[in-house]
Structure formats: structure tokens, C-alpha cells
A and B are shown apart, each in its own frame.
Chain A
């Protein structure tokens, strides 16, 4: 009712392709910028020379072993987090849902903090434990929320409870080891610092698996938007769909947390920006979210590491500080919030 006289209904093919094209151009543009910028600046020409195999050895090293893998990782991680958030908003029918609300961040950080502070000799396996911790926290929240089915409100409330318990534990551990928090801090404020092709490869595999599964969920995500009973009437297994969508979302988010640490806000903001751009049909929304998330995280990382020479602002910090105002701007300017 609130959008009575808008004419933004539906999507023409033209509008969607324009949005996608703009996002892709933005990603390519920022990608090139991120490869150019850094302690030693490179020109576009130098970069293309490297790509064509004509650059010098040191140029090659900077571009191909430092900057390109980092930028590629940012693109993958941003896309995964954003898709994870989009799916979860369909599960919860709640615009505030993001992977943090089903325990992904709290579970991963509990595991990571425990390892880093209590079992430092296992530090190399933090990704593995973080992933397992995230998965365990999600399962726990869903088990607690289960009562003949999974009701979104119960998920959110049991998520709040479990997050609070884990948060308390994490705070306690950190207070007890306050002189030894370097590793914990860098995990809690996710960053791409020092990313190599190895991380790209691992994250790439996670991403392909998770994204294919996400795209298989599109119809169910759409049907959930029509209300549970309507979805059931259309032959959708509502409980199973909620669990499957949550599992895919948790998988994508847990994968990113395990590889690069916690990056907040992307899973919340990128899907909403996408919704404002193309509407609520997941067929269009999910690919748009993917692109928006990639563009946002790549931009945040590029700015974060080049705006203040000599210092790197972690991408997690950048996202929180600049994502919020940008989101508010979008919210006020567009005004057509198509609730989740």
C-alpha cells in the first residue's frame, strides 16, 4: 500500500541488464584500480603488460602474487556474503536477518578465539575450526528453535540467546588473555591482508558449491515471500526449504569467515541495495546481490588499503564505517523499500 503511485513495478529486461552491466563495469574498474594502487603505484599500461606477459619480473610479482589474488578474493568473498544474506532474508521474512543472526559469526569467533588463545599450537587450523564452530552454532540455534517446524521468530530469538552466550564466553576469554589479542583482533576484523592464490583457490571451491546450491533455491525463496501457507499450497516443503536455504547461507558465510575472518554488514546491506535496484524476485535479486556484494567488498578493501599510506584499514572496519552511511543514503533516496 505504501508504494501506491510508484512506477517501479517489475523489471524490464533492459533495466536489469543495465544494472548488471553497471555493476560489472564497476567491479572491473575497481579491480584495475586496486591492482594499480599500493606502496608502489603501477600504471594501467604496466598492468596490461603484465597480463600480456610483457612486464618486468618485479611488476609481475606485485601484480600476480600480491594484488590480483587479493582483489579476486575480495570479489568472491563479497559475493558469497551478500548471497548468504539474501537467502537468509527470505528464510526469516525479515529485513534484519544476516548470517550473524543464525550464529555464524559468533560460532566461528568462539572457535577461533579458543584456538588462538588456548591452543596456539593449532593456529594453522583456525579456518577449519572456525568453519566447524560456525556450523555447530547454526545447528544449535535451529535445534533450539525447532518445535514441530522452524518458525522465523523462534530462530531469531534463539539466535539472540545463543549469540549472547557465545559472546559472553568470547569476552571472558579475551579479558583473561588481554595481552595476547593480536591474532584475535585480526580475525574479528576480517581482512584480506596477505591473501595468496591458495586462499583464492579454497574460497573459490566453497563459492562454486555454495552458489550453485543458492541458485537451486531460487524458486523456494520466492515462494516463501508469499507466506507459509501459500507456499505450502504451491507444493513447497516449507520447513525443509527454510532449513536448506539456511544451510546454504550458513555454508557460504562460514566459508568466508574461516578464510578471511569476520566482515560484517555486507550480508545485510548489499542484498538491500540490490532489492532497491531490481526488486524482490530472487531470479534477478540473487545475481544482483552477488555483483553488489563483490563490488562493495572490493571497493572497501581497495580504499581501506590505499587511503592512508603505510596503514591498512581492515575491510571489516571499512564496511562498517562507510557501509552504514551509504545504506542510509540509499534508503532515503530510493524510498521504495520492498520488505524482505
Chain B
């Protein structure tokens, strides 16, 4: 399982948002895309998952061009949790997660025993099974995010794409979501690609970090190699020290502007 993007150019008409983008997403790894607002990081995630079109280049998934795949076939291989999603207020949690099985069903077919089994698996893996009968508006923001992740997980994808999964959450729910992502990756071997704003989280959970600036790749590699004070200055215009911390695997990021 691997996903490659070659010389991707993405934009609208004359306006090019992302250019010369080459990506090599490895299976079993957590890859994080970081970059300033408007740098094109969500655009890249949407283009490689075919949520939006790209103008040039190609995206190859398991040796196959994604444009030649049927939508359902693609949906069985990769799962995307977009930043914006909604559900009618009367949907129950389990009902919502069941939609993850759509790529496996035909127009008139109902839920198979296997669908039921996988929905339960996805909900247990995300710790959402206990509130399966609640409305998605009766649970907290963090729980709701786990439910949506369960929905995408029920697609049984080989790679999970998450577009800013922590943006609207408070810190405890952010950490809860990051722990879940890490746990899913370690326990099920699912590949994860996500867009994050929080550099500290990117440092902590990623195996591989891609930095995007002005629609082009600035750097990529192991988080501790890529997230440096020079990169932070070049890309974000932020001064900081990257400080090793005894007792922790990853260094801390100490910002200088905050006084």
C-alpha cells in the first residue's frame, strides 16, 4: 500500500494554489502535513483523495491512477474525514457510523452481518460503542470527532486522511483525538495522513512531517529533523527554540514571542 503524488498542480483557473507537489505516503506510518494558513495543506489532502480536482500531475494509489478508480473502489481503499461535515440531529451514533459501509453496498441492499460486525469493530476501536444509541448532538465535541473517525474507519481503508481533526476541539479533546489516531495506527497498522495546525502535536505523533509553504513543499522528513527553529522562522515567521526535554522522547517547542 502506498500513495504517490507526482508533480501535482492544483488550482482554480489561472490561480495556482499548489505546484510541483511530490508526495510519497508510506503505509503503516503517521504522516502530518503542516504549514501556515492558506499554504495549501488542506488543498493537497483533498486533491490526493479526489475530493477536488487537480490540474496537472497524477496520484498513484497501489500502482493505479486514482482517476481511473471507481468512486466506491477508492472509498474502500482510502477514507477521508473532511473538516466540514454534518448530520441531521436525529441520527443516532451507530446509524451514522453505518454509513461507513456504503462503499460496500448496492442501491437496494441492506446491512450484511459483516457490515454489522465491522461497524461494531470500528466503534469499539474508537471507544464510541457505549453511546451508540445517542444522538450525535448529545455527546461532546471530542466524542463526536471519534464517532466521525469511526465512520471513516468502517470503510476499512488502508489509509485514513484527517483534515485538521483537532481544530475545533479543546485541549483535552485534542489530546484524546491524537491518542486515538496513534492507537489506531499502532494497533491496526492503518496509515494516517493528517493536516495539523499544532506543531507540538505534529512533533509528538508523526513518523513523517511534510512542511508546505506558499503551495510548495518546503521540507519533509522525521519530525525532529524537519521541525527546527530555522523552519519555524522561514515558514511561520516565528522565533522559537527547540529544547530537548529529559524524560521525553521528543523535544519541546519554546516560542519566544510570548512574553
Contacts and interface: CB of A to CB of B under 8 A. Distances in A.
Interface string A223-237: 101110110111111
Contact of B89 (A3, A215, A226): A3
B100 A234 contact: yes
Interface string B49-88: 1110000000000000000001111111001111011111
Given A1-B137, A9-B135, A234 B75 contact: yes
Interface in B79-104: 79-82, 84-92, 95-96, 99-100, 102-103
A22 interface: no
Interface string B100-135: 101101011000000000000000000000000111
Interface string A310-340: 0000000000000000000000000010110
Given A233-B49, A234-B99, A280-B90, A227 B137 contact: no
Nearest to B90: A279
A10 interface: yes
A222 interface: yes
Contact of A281 (B71, B73, B95): B95
A2 interface: yes
Contact of A10 (B49, B72, B108, B133): B133
A219 B76 CA distance: 17
Q: Is the interface of A mostly helix, strand, loop or mixed?
A: loop
Nearest to A6: B135
Interface string A211-247: 0000110110011011101101111110000000000
A57 interface: no
A226 B155 contact: no
Nearest to B138: A4
Given A216-B108, A222-B99, A235-B75, A3 B135 contact: yes
Contact of A279 (B88, B100, B152): B88
A2 B82 contact: no
A222 B99 CA distance: 9
Interface of A: 1-4, 6, 8-10, 215-216, 218-219, 222-223, 225-227, 229-230, 232-237, 279-281, 336, 338-339
Given A1-B137, A235-B72, 11 more contacts: A3-B89, A8-B90, A9-B90, A215-B108, A216-B108, A226-B85, A232-B50, A234-B102, A235-B73, A280-B88, A339-B88
Interface of B: 46, 49-51, 70-76, 79-82, 84-92, 95-96, 99-100, 102-103, 105, 107-108, 133-135, 137-138, 152, 155
15 contacts: A10-B133, A219-B102, A222-B99, A223-B102, A225-B88, A226-B87, A226-B96, A230-B85, A233-B49, A233-B79, A234-B103, A235-B70, A235-B71, A235-B103, A281-B95
